[in-house]
Amino acid sequence: MSETNTALTNQWNDFLLRQVDPYATAKYEILLDWLGNIAGRSALVVGSGSGELAALMAGKGAKVTAIDISEEYVELTRKTAQRFQVPMETAVAKLEDFHPGKKYDIVAATDVIEHIEDDQAAVQQLKELLSEEGTLVITVPALPALFGYHDEVLGHFRRYTASSLRALISGGFEISRLRYYGLFLIPVALLISRILRRPYPVKAAGNQKSALGAIIRSVFSWEKIMSPPLGTSLLLTARPRR
């Protein structure tokens, strides 16, 4: 982690900090639990970033292809695959330019569509990459009232509510699961990002030996079991509507 600072200040730091971020780790564990047995299934991870989700899926036996918009990001995904010792195909591509000539059993876009101005077109492109019996996996930042410094430095166009995400997805999909995540981070996001306009000290929170890290990991362990009424993220799975 010597390549990064101790705070989330840009997209590159965001990717690097996910290696020690208990928030991201617990979120991925929820998604993997929802997907169940994925051994042998083909999976496309759009906007793979640091590659943790793609590597975890590959570790569960999925045949993973991971794409992102720059060689720098994709190389980080490859390094994560090597660290996890899992096979994975990778490609440098934007969602709208990716035409593999095949469809996937799982298409995952975690913290992706908020970066795309036309999110309706993005969802349609995700659907075109998904098989008829496939599963779409999406996560997005939640609650427009929290839009602040964090969203600006990462290039977000918006944050979502459960209602707005449901409206976006339900035209082409039947939603299987939809829930908020990150209830206890709402005051943190409001204070640090919205009011103080400072970066999140993610690395400090992820310190395995710190009391703060232990508390945060405990909170997210609870959220893996209980679905809160609100949160800083929304998690969704859906199937193509016939």
Burial class (CB in 10 A: 0-12, 13-18, 19+), 57: buried
| Rg, Å, the chain Cα set | 17
pLDDT of residue 221: 83
Q: CA-to-CA distance for 155 and 2, rounded, in angstroms? A: 24
* Backbone φ and ψ of 237, nearest 5°: -125, 150
What are the residue ranges spanned by the domains of the chain? Answer: 11-240
DSSP 88: -
Residues 34, 94, 75, CA angle at the centre, nearest 5°? Answer: 80
Q: pLDDT by residue for the chain (242 residues), tens digit each? A: 334 444 555 554 555 455 557 888 899 999 999 999 999 999 999 999 999 999 999 999 999 999 999 999 999 999 999 999 999 999 999 999 999 999 999 999 999 999 999 999 999 999 999 999 999 999 999 999 999 999 999 999 999 999 999 999 999 999 999 999 999 899 989 999 999 998 877 655 544 555 556 667 777 888 888 999 999 999 999 999 97
CATH of 11-240, one of 1.20.1250.20, 3.40.50.150, 2.60.40.1180, 1.10.443.10: 3.40.50.150
pLDDT of residue 103: 98
**CA dihedral for 128, 178, 90, 122, sign (positive or negative):** positive
pTM of the model: 0.90
* Backbone φ and ψ of 208, nearest 5°: -65, -25
Residue 232, SS3 per DSSP:
coil
Q: CA-to-CA distance for 218 and 215, rounded, in angstroms? A: 5
Q: CA-to-CA distance for 72 and 127, rounded, in angstroms? A: 27
Strand-pair partners of 110: 139
